A and B are shown apart, each in its own frame.
Chain A
Amino acid sequence: MSNWFNEKILLGMNCREYISKHATLLNFMALIILCFSFYAMAYRLIYGLGPATNLSDTYPWGFWISFDILAGIALAAPGLTVGTVVYLFGAKDYKHFARPAILSSLLGYIFAVFALMFDLGRYYRVFYVIGWSWGLNSILFLIAWHFFLYIIICLIEWFPAFFEWLGIEKAKNFFSKLGIWATVFGVIIAGGHQSALGGLFLVAPTKIHPLWYSALLPLFFLVSALFAGISMVIIESTISHKVFRDQLKTFDRADFDNKTLGLAKALVIILFVYLILKVLDLTHYNNWHYLKSEYGYWYLLEVVGFVLAPALVLINSVKNKKVKLVRFTTFWVVTGVILNRFNVSLIAYNWYIPLQEKYYPTWMEIALSLGVVTLIVLFYRFIVRRMSILS
């Protein structure tokens, strides 16, 4: 048993070796973040949402929903984008982007739900929505079910790597065969709930600033999740190819750069689809006059500064084959998506309220979320080192 443990979990080292090898500055920082985060979690569980957060009756949803759920799930879309491209459209060239993409989706969703537990007043009742009481007309109901199903789907997609690691051939083959079906349903389900996250705010037509409120909110969320997903694939592959270089036996730099440029092309197209939709939306609601206000400038910053500008830079860098610039720009795009989620759910929400009465998070809300991000990174690293995800 202990042999198995050393071999599989500790990468063939014994406990002492393992710990000393991991006593790095980065790990130490991760540990500190986790301490603050766990403190915040405990505090929230013991004292309740009131003392731990700045939530109020006016702002029932705060940082956790905006960051962990809305932004987090959009960034966890790689599984959706790459899964589709590779398994459904048969783009085999991109195959080795698939496993890491699915893993990050899996972790992204599991930890989003984990973080959500702290936001729910009665977290221990969350299973009510699955098997006890159905609010069939609620968009939140749709999301809850889709999350539930999507996590199962990601698990199925990840199991081949998992059972390979455990050395259980039979289970591995079984899940490999299921994989394609899981992807098919995964695309449907992921598309459904990415848009449903935007749909959540359809019920607040009087509360969200007209520049952000639109019947197209679900479509905006879906399309921006697509470009967030592709950007995340580029970001992740960049980082993991740097960090886990030793695991890649056959790494072809030129080929990798080419694939990245290929993804960047797709990214540009989707960014422009989004921009066109945005302009149509402005025209349809005849909202142009709002642009000349403080909220209008903020809106322009989001759309021009974080969608149009990176799109133009991407066109240029694809043309000139500047892969580094592509990689940088994807960070820019992802920041834009996060900004958008905050805008819809917090900044444009209750926009008529004076600035000093608006919500801002407590340090505990931020610490808890940072800790969750850290956990995702740690788990990702843990799994990538042990299972054949990258190769």
Chain B
Amino acid sequence: MNRREFFKRSLTIAGSLLIARNSNASDQPLSVYSTQNKANKKNWEKFEELKKTNSQIDESYAVLVDITKCIGCRRCEWACNEWNKNPNRPVKEFEASKDEKPSVFDRVRRTHAGEFTVVNRFHSKNKPVYVKKQCMHCAEAACLNACFVDAFKKTPQGAVLYNPSLCVGCRYCMIACPFDIPAYEYYNALTPQITKCTMCFDRVTDGKVPACVESCTSDALIFGKRSEMLKLAYNTINKNPERYINHVYGEHEAGGTNWLYISQIPFEKLGFPELDKTPIPAHSKSFLFTVKVLEVVAAAPLVWGAYYMISKNRSKKEGKKDE
């Protein structure tokens, strides 16, 4: 873009800074243009409100994803967009993508500002395997720990929520999340926010199930208490040991998550990061501790040394005066 064009454009948008959009980025998915999604904010407000009522939750919820049952209809994507007021298209178009060529499934997608969840296609022995991706709602969330203004909270219900009214937009939470989930409104110049799945906190606290779970017609998504979902997962695996591998992804990964997956093929082949039991925040905790200790312990001798130097200087000066 040359300078004249720049000034021209600056003038045209002078009155409408907030909706400034750029045309030469048309290869980006539509969703990155989405600005000012209200879903995260709405859920946060609900969370604040509920805090006042002080209702007791004895155990968090989880969604169990049975990858073997997913048929790739992408209705969950559609339902998520619908509920969270993200840009959407008719559900037929979502369902059709399975048989289309070229198709959205041709490349592995990740979440974006206007897409809280995506379904990806992998192949195993020439058979397609569909995998839904969204925030895992970690028990010890990396995003939460990374945020330097404390804009995330883990709710007793299990959802990790984001507060747009604190966020400074540093995007460190995106660096930290091992699942590459938080997305950012890059095309908003003034009030960009991070967006991600809220586990439908607003629905769950009203006694409903998340929108994606409700929309799934093939029983691939099941919502319930986390311990019950784990039990169900192992029951399913044990009943059909030849159909499943003996691994519930999310039980221990990165300290455990509130989304759980069971599958017929190893998870690392389905785009899941290989994580051990260590929660991500644990990697930085010992360093923070070291810094605190060093700064407090090392400070004392250094301050003393400084005092010593000063007094030495002073006595020298006084010595000179005396001469």
Q: Which residues of A contact B (CB under 8 A)?
A: 39, 43-51, 53, 55-58, 60-61, 87-88, 90, 119-123, 125-126, 128-129, 132-142, 144, 177, 180-181, 183-185, 187-189, 191-192, 195-196, 199-207, 215, 218
Residues of chain B lying within 8 A (CB to CB) of residue A53: 186
Interchain CB contact under 8 A, B192 and A128: no
- A121, A136, A177, A201: residue with the most chain B Cβ atoms closer than 10 Å: A121
Within the complex, which residue of A50, A135, A185, A202 is in contact with B22, where a contact is CB–CB below 8 Å?
Answer: A50
Within the complex, which residue of A39, A90, A188, A202 is in contact with B284, where a contact is CB–CB below 8 Å?
Answer: A202
Of the stretches B94-102, B168-176, B204-212, the one at the interface is B168-176
Q: Tell whether B30 is near chain A: CB-to-CB under 8 Å.
A: no
Residues of chain B lying within 8 A (CB to CB) of residue A144: 148
Interchain CB contact under 8 A, B287 and A88: no
Interchain CB contact under 8 A, B171 and A183: no
In chain B, positions 178-193 with a C-beta closer than 8 Å to chain A are 178, 180, 183-193
- Bound together, the chains give a CA A195 to CA B293 distance in angstroms of 14
Residues of chain A lying within 8 A (CB to CB) of residue B24: 51
Q: Tell whether B57 is near chain A: CB-to-CB under 8 Å.
A: no
Residues of chain A lying within 8 A (CB to CB) of residue B255: none
Q: Output the least CB separation between A295 and chain B (Å).
A: 18
A-B contact pairs, 30 of them (CB 8 A): A44-B189, A46-B20, A48-B186, A57-B32, A57-B112, A60-B175, A61-B171, A87-B306, A87-B309, A88-B302, A129-B149, A135-B146, A138-B148, A138-B172, A139-B288, A140-B170, A180-B310, A183-B306, A184-B305, A188-B298, A188-B302, A191-B294, A199-B288, A203-B146, A204-B176, A205-B178, A207-B175, A215-B283, A215-B287, A218-B287
Q: Output the least CB separation between B24 and chain A (Å).
A: 7
Residues of chain B lying within 8 A (CB to CB) of residue A132: 149, 166
Interchain CB contact under 8 A, B283 and A205: yes
Interchain CB contact under 8 A, B168 and A49: no
Residues of chain A lying within 8 A (CB to CB) of residue B32: 50, 57
Interchain CB contact under 8 A, A128 and B166: yes
Interchain CB contact under 8 A, B110 and A203: no
- Bound together, the chains give a CA A123 to CA B171 distance in angstroms of 12
Within the complex, which residue of A48, A119, A180 is in contact with B306, where a contact is CB–CB below 8 Å?
Answer: A180
Interchain CB contact under 8 A, B110 and A57: yes
Given A47-B189, A51-B25, A90-B309, A60-B149 contact (CB < 8 Å):
no
Interchain CB contact under 8 A, A135 and B189: no
Residues of chain B lying within 8 A (CB to CB) of residue A185: 299
Number of chain B residues close to chain A: CB under 8 A: 69
Known: A134-B149, A139-B288, A215-B287. 12 other contacts (CB 8 A): A46-B10, A51-B22, A51-B24, A57-B111, A58-B180, A132-B166, A180-B310, A184-B305, A200-B175, A204-B175, A207-B178, A215-B286
Q: Output the least CB separation between B138 and chain A (Å).
A: 12
> Of all chain A residues, which has the CB nearest B276?
A205
- Bound together, the chains give a CA A122 to CA B170 distance in angstroms of 8
Interchain CB contact under 8 A, A203 and B175: yes
Q: Output the least CB separation between A44 and chain B (Å).
A: 8
Q: Tell whether B265 is near chain A: CB-to-CB under 8 Å.
A: no
Residues of chain A lying within 8 A (CB to CB) of residue B274: 206
Residues of chain A lying within 8 A (CB to CB) of residue B171: 60-61, 121
